Amino acid sequence: MISKQKQHHAKGWCPSTLTPMMSGDGLLVRIKPAFNRLTSKQVAILASLSDSFGNGIIDITNRANLQIRGVTHTHLSSLIDALFDSSLTKNNEAYDKLNLTLAPFTSVDSLGWRCACALYDEIGNFPNLPAKFGFAVDCGSTRTLCDASADIRLETNKDGQLIIRLDGSENGFITDENTFLDDIKAVLNWYLLSQKYAPIKMRMKQFINQEAIPETWCTTQPQASMKNIVPGTYGEKQVIAAPFGQLTSDQLAHIASVTDEVIMCLDRCLLIDKTADIDSQFITSEEDIRRNISVCAGMPACTGASINTRKLATKIISRLDGAHNQSYHISGCAKGCATKTSRDICIIGNDGNYGLLENGCAWDSPDNILLSEAALFDELDRIQKN
């Protein structure tokens, strides 16, 4: 059966501080913390700014950024000035566009930290890149950013040598601290020149599926050791997550009051002090059922959505038992903003009804289309019994 689901194409850019994006509840203003880190003072300021200039709701994004929701055009200029004054961002267009994710346990005296510093300092001299283009700096002995949305990855090989790896390629090539910026520029020039006449530049993974990488860029394997950072305790730190990737200003202010620093992680997680007093409104364990459900903003927050995704997620959770381990993706439309990976059960909004498929993504053709809510839950019950 051919799906009647509407096609939703991803926007050609992501919001940032200097280029916010309109949504159903107002402007989205994205803050990209340098090194993915914020002091407790900065976190408290963000919570206050969300109340003063937004609607008190803060998103944690897939790229380990924070997003103030509900900003009006009237308040936008004042919010941006306050973000500059508190050093939460810089009045610099190249810096504002940079998408850089740093592995969360990177120490300030490490190779990864120095590479991130160099990228921040040099980004103004890079060629103009597509808005979604990103870098992952993952130079530890265990890689933690393999699922990060990134086009160029800085990693190490088994001998601890710095390597550059293009997203989508299993291997990379050896570089060093003195030459890696020039090597990255060479990759970028090849990537952009090869798409010189393309109106929309492909992301790196898609591009190298069509364009052969020079053999000299595929000569060494990255560290084999990989792990995902999930809620739980890690030495003197703990990882928590916000249910459905969203915090209220009060929740953010509470976090600021119990930890010295917040480090943004993938999968909408936060790394905070182990001693921080965190209650059940946050996800503190990998076994938490809420952890298994990826949810986009949904309606009325997003103009592209036709269902209230968070309300539906709450209903689904109330019907699940504690041993349930299936993964869900609830998407307001077929864009699939909440996650780009396949889930056991995917529910997609379609003109106020629901599409449903198993083992797929939001943009796949649903097995069932135009279900009512009652019919949706009948199908979910059937799937769970099987």
Residue 304 maps to which CATH number?
Answer: 3.30.413.10
Q: CB burial class (10 A; 0-12, 13-18, 19+) of residue 323? A: exposed
pTM: 0.88
Which band of pLDDT confidence, cut at 50, 70 and 90, is reported for residue 322? low
**Residue 284 within a domain:** no
Structure tokens given for 106: 């990177």
The H-or-E segment that residue 99 falls in is none
**Residue 237 within a domain:** yes
Are 263 and 327 found together in one domain?
Answer: no
pLDDT digits (tens, 9 = 90+) for 36-64: 999 999 999 999 999 999 999 999 988 89
Identify the pLDDT of residue 365: 87
Strand partners, 27: 22, 71
pLDDT digits (tens, 9 = 90+) for 337-350: 888 788 999 999 98
Identify the pLDDT of residue 335: 86
Rounded Cα gap, residues 253 and 278, in angstroms? 12
Residue 47 maps to which CATH number?
Answer: 3.90.480.10
Determine the structural domain holding residue 355 and report its residue range.
289-385
Are 299 and 363 found together in one domain?
Answer: yes
Are 83 and 111 found together in one domain?
Answer: no
Structure tokens given for 141: 């002995």
Which band of pLDDT confidence, cut at 50, 70 and 90, is reported for residue 321? low
Are 109 and 206 found together in one domain?
Answer: yes
- Report the domain count for the chain: 3
Are 241 and 174 found together in one domain?
Answer: no
Contact 18, 347 (CB under 8 A): no
- Residue 126, CA atoms < 13 Å, CB-side half-sphere: 28
Exposure string of 90-112, with b = 16+ CB inside 10 Å and e = fewer, is: beeeebbbbbbbbbbbbeeeebb
| β-pairing verdict for 343-350 and 328-331 | parallel
Which band of pLDDT confidence, cut at 50, 70 and 90, is reported for residue 18? very high
Estimate to the nearest angstrom the gap between the alpha carbon of 253 and the chain centroid: 22
| Long-range Cβ contact pairs of 195-204 (< 8 A, separation 24 or more) | 200/12, 200/130, 201/130, 201/133, 203/130, 203/132, 203/133, 203/151, 203/167, 204/133, 204/151, 204/152, 204/166, 204/167, 204/168
**Residue 129 within a domain:** yes
Residue in this structure with the two tokens 């905070």, named with its chain if needed: 272
Looking at the predicted structure, is the pLDDT value of residue 8 above 50?
no
Identify the pLDDT of residue 13: 60
Looking at the predicted structure, is the pLDDT value of residue 85 above 60?
yes
Give the least confident one: 230-234, 259-263, 307-311, 368-372: 368-372
Are 85 and 109 found together in one domain?
Answer: no
pLDDT digits (tens, 9 = 90+) for 139-183: 999 999 999 999 999 999 999 999 999 999 999 999 999 999 999
Are 81 and 129 found together in one domain?
Answer: no
Mean pLDDT, rounded, for 344-368: 90
Are 187 and 266 found together in one domain?
Answer: no
Identify the pLDDT of residue 324: 64
Structure tokens given for 245: 């990737």
Mean pLDDT, rounded, for 265-285: 93
Rounded Cα gap, residues 286 and 277, in angstroms? 18
**Residue 4 within a domain:** no
The per-residue pLDDT of the chain, averaged, comes to 91
Which ranges of 290-386 would DSSP assign to H, the alpha helix? 309-319, 373-385
Contact 149, 340 (CB under 8 A): yes
Are 49 and 141 found together in one domain?
Answer: no
**Residue 223 within a domain:** no
Mean pLDDT, rounded, for 224-247: 93
**Residue 63 within a domain:** yes
Identify the pLDDT of residue 3: 34
Are 62 and 86 found together in one domain?
Answer: yes
Are 64 and 165 found together in one domain?
Answer: no
**Residue 9 within a domain:** no
Are 115 and 190 found together in one domain?
Answer: yes
Identify the pLDDT of residue 366: 83
**Residue 131 within a domain:** yes
DSSP code at position 212:
P
Which band of pLDDT confidence, cut at 50, 70 and 90, is reported for residue 192? very high
Strand partners, 353: 350
